[in-house]
A and B are shown apart, each in its own frame.
Chain A
Amino acid sequence: MKMECEHYEGLFTDYINKQLPAVEKVAFEQHIAACPACAEELQAMQQVWNVMGEDAIPEPSADMQHRFNAMLANYKASVTENASVWEKLKEQWEQLWQLQPRWPMAYNIAIMVIGLSAGFWFLNGRKTADDAKLKTLASEVHELKQSVMLSLLENPSASERIRGVSYTSEIKHADKEVIDALFATLNNDPNVNVRLSTLDALTGLANHPEVRQGLVQSITQQDSPLLQSAIADVMLKLQEKSAVGSFRKLLKQKNLDQGVKQKISKTISKLI
């Protein structure tokens, strides 16, 4: 019975709504006639349904139409306003192209010139600033190398002193202090190898007149045959004619090596 009631309850709305097919309607009415509980339920629903049917909808107020008209007019105005802004922009854009080619071209060129000059100005400004920085940096490094070199020349180890001498090849503008130190090494260093590399270093600085002069003076001060012939080579290479006097003085020395003697004689004849 309960199951049955549930089934027919599901059809209440359709029955009230008169949407139940004829066959089902007969079975439905038979059930209602036999089941007082369902009959009561159906009656309650029918009552609500009827009340709903009688429910009146209040009249909408008269100014609804006016409000709608106003809303529509407003909306249309906002739409055309948007459209006219767009149209104006389009027109202006087209006008810009009608003035072709003079104004756009002039404008383009002006912008390009401004851009390029701004770029150059900017880059150059940076360059000079960078240059100045680099210069100070370079001079600082130079000073550092020089002081390292000078201190290395005083080192008791011969190999360290050679290292010090070799630094001078990296010093482009050797000042008087460096040159003096090198000559002191060339004339007084106890180690032949150190003196030879010093000679090399000084040869590299031969564009300084005081270096050439110093080398010529140094000829008579050398007692090692190796250095004597090496200086002879340097003088020949530099075509230093003022060295001839010093060589002649050297030839007069009694204990001069036989080989060196011949080499110096040859050098003198070549220089003259």
Chain B
Amino acid sequence: MLTDNAIMLKVKEGDLDKMGLLFQRYHRQLYGFLFHMTYKKEAAEDMVQHTFYKMLKYRNSFTGSGEFVHWMYTVARNVLKDEFKKNKRAQLHSDVDDLADILPGGVHTGDMYEKKESARALHKAMEKLSDDQRQILTMSRFQELKHQEIAEIMNMTEGAVKVRVHRAMQELKNIYTKMES
């Protein structure tokens, strides 16, 4: 099986159809990242398309010296930055209230209801974090990227990532506990 980098280098050489393979491999992961960053399903889907478009357009900036996934996150973060800039004034309306649609099963058992409530609280707490904190927690906890990988994507040292993950985690805990009580 071809590595991600080998595929992306083929895209860079002009075999644009090969981008389809990378889309199949990564669009879910990317969608997860963007969903946690916005909690808006449609916006996240749009941004996945936009990220792949940008990777096509700027394929020449892929050098192959780092992992394709890291480069993909870098491009996605730029897409996010543009999106946040655009929506700065627009009220952030998340799909938190529509979570019933996304959880498996439609029946509200007691356990189910509890899960839904805690997820809603978590999303609201996440939205209160700064963009950078939300990004770093999303990558660390939801995407389960290693600190060293995050360091590469965010262009900082591993130590700095560790400290930031911890601070964001504490902040989230404080907000969450306050909401629970």
Contact = CB atoms under 8 A, between A and B. Distances in A.
Given A12-B169, A44-B173, A48-B173, A61 B122 contact: no
Given A55-B119, A60-B28, A68-B27, A10 B49 contact: no
Contacts of A68: 20, 23, 27, 49, 52
Contact of A58 (B48, B101, B165): B101
A72 interface: yes
Given A48-B172, A68-B20, A56 B27 contact: no
Nearest to B52: A68
A56 B49 CA distance: 21
A60 B41 CA distance: 8
Interface in A51-102: 51-61, 64-65, 67-69, 71-72, 75-76, 79
A71 B177 contact: no
Nearest to B163: A10
Interface in B49-78: 49, 52-53, 56-57
A69 B20 contact: yes
Contacts of A48: 122, 125, 169, 172-173, 176-177
A13 interface: yes
B102 A58 contact: yes
Interface residues on chain B, size class:
35 or more
A51 B176 CA distance: 10
Contact of A71 (B31, B53, B103): B53
B45 interface: yes
A13 B56 CA distance: 37
Contacts of B102: 56, 58-59
A13 B166 contact: yes
Given A13-B166, A56-B103, A72-B19, A51 B56 contact: no
Contacts of A51: 118-119, 121-122, 176
Contact of A45 (B101, B118, B121, B173): B173
B113 interface: no
Contact of A52 (B41, B48, B122, B165): B122
Contacts of B20: 68-69, 72
Contacts of A72: 16-17, 19-20, 56
Contacts of B31: 57, 60, 64
A47 B173 CA distance: 9
B53 A75 contact: yes
B164 to A, nearest CB: 10
Interface in B90-121: 95, 101-104, 115, 118-119, 121
A49 interface: yes
B35 A58 contact: yes
B170 interface: yes
Contact of B16 (A9, A56, A79): A79
4 closest A-B pairs by beta carbon, nearest first, are A58-B102, A13-B166, A57-B32, A60-B31
7 contacts: A48-B176, A51-B119, A52-B137, A52-B141, A55-B142, A58-B35, A72-B19
Interface of A: 9-10, 12-14, 41, 44-45, 47-49, 51-61, 64-65, 67-69, 71-72, 75-76, 79
Given A58-B102, A67-B45, 13 more contacts: A12-B170, A44-B177, A48-B169, A54-B118, A55-B123, A61-B45, A64-B27, A67-B49, A68-B20, A68-B27, A71-B49, A72-B16, A79-B16
